[in-house]
């Protein structure tokens, strides 16, 4: 009787049959030109893909239709990935031999190596392993070698891994073996602990500390505690020995606690100054943290603390917060002094030029203020639009369109990688499409990337242009960078929800940059970044169909729910788009706290004094995008100042009678003298950033 084969084996003969229908594809996938894919093939691929993801051979029912389709290699790979625990080395090697350069082959190699490590099949692992597949597999490869009796060598095997402040769990057996071999000397341990401390990785420190000799192990644990629980560390610090490492831990805990509870950190600082002879650098670190977070809390004496900081303790953050606290107090001479204390590059930011002009006008220097406003008004940014309103001028938006290159376009369409990217997008696999896009254009020159982005835009793949046109004159490709995508229904859905469509477009563009499958760490999904729980509630209240969280990746569903969520949130803020935008980003509870504290401020001052940098930039970005989208929709724009309704005044939804501003492209000014304020390169791109907003503070 024959022995029963292991359940994870699949014969090489079976593999040959599995891949036979794809053999004709080799010419296509290695560069030969094929006929353009048609909708029938795309429909067949979608069905085959759904089947392949269930494993087995069912997907082969569509193989005949897909013989020359550029995405065919994705199908056997998907089936193998599903059945990876039943797959053998020969099967995987055969696929890799047939499609060695493709992304699914790389994924299959990586995932099967992880499976082999799980099985502890180290001989097969070493037969398949290639360097450069990540730290986890690098450590698995070392385990495989150790299983064969090879000792570790720190310089050749561990030095690169040791430089990481954090390593995956797969490295734990390797590090234990290195310790057992005596490779982890005290000096090496402290080198990595210091890296982990700088990176804020308390877990790494706690893991390494037991390998240190006493009492150094306790000193390392103090560093871990300072990172993990600074309040507890400060409570214990009065009993710590007066050593260099204890002072380091105390400084770190004070800096961390200042962010969480400034008053408690103040009290601990007063106590510990008598306990430890902190170095001047440590004292400046603590003083800077205390001053900065007293400022973000807008505490009494916060401005005086910032002004009193030693020069060595000053940073860009402390200087800008000196100005923000002065703005909150509407102390215009202090605003001017704070901006004057900034380095010239920081002063040239559009925000500080605007507030310098505001401060000059408020202190009796209108002519100087006018000159700054005039410079700013030539820029298509939030502060540029504000300055144009101040001067009662048109908005300076100067559109350009890229110059087509039909020959280059045809060459691009013959690139197999780019063809696969376009096809993956066409069959609703945008994440895979972006990977193929990045691979196909790796190392390409700017002209090639721009031509590819224009091609993608024509196919409805709008985010490629958003992320490509981010510099120089490409920032003026407004039609590409701010697509209207009428098929997704932004205008009618916004109108039905009772909000300004241009504002809805601005929110969408700032949230996702038109990445329809965007997903944040807080599980916000799709174009307008909605959390499923919030979306379900909006659907219930609005009488819309709710088909679950994955439906938020459908642009039409996302926009229908997102516009209504915006409308519901706006009711909380008297309809004000700028304040609702802040709540959309930071969450309404935080915004309510800021409103309670500073609702006497004008909108531009309130925005400047919001404690979160992300939210400040988000609001100014959304408001500027709203102007640009308004112009794209109507050929003119509502004044941005009309969107910045002051507290206590109702916001009026624009209608056909609302006054609008013209848009023109002024002639470029003559070269400015070297003493004049110059626009930094970042100013034009900051407002028009194509990246989705970070998700750290989203609550939708």
Q: Which of 562, 43, 554, 606 is nearest to 298 (CA)?
A: 606
Ramachandran sector of residue 36 (left: φ over 0; alpha: ψ -120 to 50; beta: rest): beta
3-class secondary structure, 525: strand
The residues near 541 (Cβ < 8 Å, ≥ 6 apart) are: 564, 568
Structure tokens belonging to residue 49:
């893909």
Distance CA 363, CA 332 (A): 7
Tokens 């400022």 identify what position?
295
Tokens 């994924």 identify what position?
107
The residues near 82 (Cβ < 8 Å, ≥ 6 apart) are: 52, 53, 54, 55, 56
Distance CA 416, CA 531 (A): 37
CA angle 164/165/168 to nearest 5° reads 75
Helices (H) and strands (E) in the chain, counts: 40, 2
Please give the distance of CA 168 from its chain centroid, rounded to a whole number: 23
- What distances in angstroms separate CA 255 from CA 230, 258, 278, 295, one per listed residue? 9, 5, 13, 14
Distance CA 52, CA 580 (A): 45
The residues near 499 (Cβ < 8 Å, ≥ 6 apart) are: 563, 566, 567, 570, 577, 653
CB atoms within 10 A of CB 26: 12
The residues near 117 (Cβ < 8 Å, ≥ 6 apart) are: 125, 137, 140, 143, 144, 170
Structure tokens belonging to residue 442:
């790796």
- What distances in angstroms separate CA 403 from CA 88, 470, 481, 566, 604, one per listed residue? 52, 17, 15, 38, 38
Q: Which of 274, 243, 275, 270 is nearest to 257 (CA)?
A: 270
Q: 53, 406 in Cβ contact below 8 A?
A: no
Q: Note if 511 is an active site residue.
A: yes
Selected catalytic residue, list 351, 379, 423, 511: 511
> Active-site positions?
511
């Amino acid at each position: 009787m024959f022995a029963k084969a292991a359940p994870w084996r699949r014969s090489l003969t079976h593999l040959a049959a599995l891949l036979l229908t794809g053999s004709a594809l080799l010419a296509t996938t290695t560069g030969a030109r094929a006929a353009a894919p048609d909708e029938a093939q795309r429909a067949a691929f979608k069905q085959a893909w759904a089947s392949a993801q269930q494993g087995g051979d069912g997907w082969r029912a569509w193989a005949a239709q897909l013989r020359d389709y550029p995405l065919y290699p994705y199908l056997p790979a998907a089936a193998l990935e599903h059945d990876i625990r039943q797959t053998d080395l020969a099967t995987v090697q055969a696929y890799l031999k047939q499609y060695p350069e493709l992304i699914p082959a790389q994924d299959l190699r990586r995932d099967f190596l992880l499976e082999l490590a799980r099985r502890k099949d180290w001989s097969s692992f070493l037969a398949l392993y290639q360097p450069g597949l990540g730290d986890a597999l690098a450590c698995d490869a070392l385990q495989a070698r150790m299983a064969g009796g090879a000792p570790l060598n720190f310089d050749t095997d561990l030095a690169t891994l040791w430089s990481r402040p954090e390593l995956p769990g797969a490295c734990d057996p390797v590090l234990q073996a290195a310790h057992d071999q005596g490779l982890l000397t005290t000096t090496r341990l402290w080198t990595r602990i210091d890296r982990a401390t700088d990176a804020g990785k308390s877990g790494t420190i706690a893991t390494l500390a037991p390998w240190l000799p006493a009492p150094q192990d306790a000193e390392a644990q103090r560093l871990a505690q300072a990172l993990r629980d600074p309040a507890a560390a400060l409570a214990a610090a009065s009993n710590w020995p007066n050593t260099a490492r204890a002072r380091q831990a105390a400084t770190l805990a004070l800096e961390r606690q200042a962010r969480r509870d400034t008053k408690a950190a103040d009290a601990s600082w007063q106590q510990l100054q008598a306990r430890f002879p902190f170095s001047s650098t440590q004292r400046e670190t603590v003083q800077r943290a205390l001053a900065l977070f007293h400022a973000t809390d807008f505490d009494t004496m916060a401005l005086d603390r910032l002004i009193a900081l030693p020069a060595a303790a000053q940073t860009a953050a402390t200087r800008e917060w000196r100005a923000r606290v002065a703005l909150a107090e509407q102390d215009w001479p202090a605003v001017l002094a704070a901006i004057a204390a900034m380095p010239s590059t920081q002063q040239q930011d559009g925000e500080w030029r605007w507030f310098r002009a505001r401060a000059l006008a408020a202190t009796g220097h209108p002519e100087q203020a006018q000159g700054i406003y005039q410079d700013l008004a030539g820029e298509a940014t939030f502060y540029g639009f504000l300055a144009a309103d101040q001067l009662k001028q048109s908005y300076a938006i100067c559109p350009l369109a890229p110059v087509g290159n039909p020959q280059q376009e045809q060459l691009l369409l013959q690139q197999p990688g780019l063809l696969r990217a376009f096809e993956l997008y066409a069959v609703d696999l945008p994440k895979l499409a972006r990977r193929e896009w990045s691979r196909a254009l790796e190392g390409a020159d700017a002209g090639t990337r721009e031509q590819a982005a224009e091609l993608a835009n024509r196919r409805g793949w709008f985010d490629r242009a958003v992320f490509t046109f981010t510099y120089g004159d490409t920032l003026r490709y407004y039609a590409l960078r701010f697509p209207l995508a009428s098929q997704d229904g932004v205008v009618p859905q916004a109108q039905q929800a009772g909000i300004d469509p241009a504002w809805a477009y601005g929110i969408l563009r700032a949230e996702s940059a038109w990445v329809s499958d965007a997903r944040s760490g807080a599980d916000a999904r799709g174009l307008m970044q909605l959390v499923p729980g919030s979306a379900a509630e909006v659907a219930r209240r609005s009488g819309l169909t709710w088909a679950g969280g994955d439906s938020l990746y459908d642009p039409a569903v996302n926009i229908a729910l997102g516009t209504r969520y915006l409308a519901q949130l706006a009711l909380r803020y008297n309809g004000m788009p700028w304040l609702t935008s802040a709540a959309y980003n930071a969450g309404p509870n935080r915004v309510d706290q800021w409103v309670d504290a500073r609702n006497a401020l004008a909108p531009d001052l309130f925005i400047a004094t919001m404690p979160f940098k992300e939210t400040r930039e988000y609001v100014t970005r959304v408001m500027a995008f709203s102007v640009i989208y308004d112009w794209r929709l109507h050929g003119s724009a509502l004044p941005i100042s009309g969107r910045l309704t002051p507290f206590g005044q109702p916001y009026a939804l624009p209608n056909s009678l609302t006054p609008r501003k013209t848009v023109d492209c002024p002639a470029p000014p003559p070269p400015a003298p070297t003493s004049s304020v110059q626009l930094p390169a970042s100013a034009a791109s900051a407002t028009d950033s194509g990246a989705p907003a970070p998700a750290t503070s989203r609550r939708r």
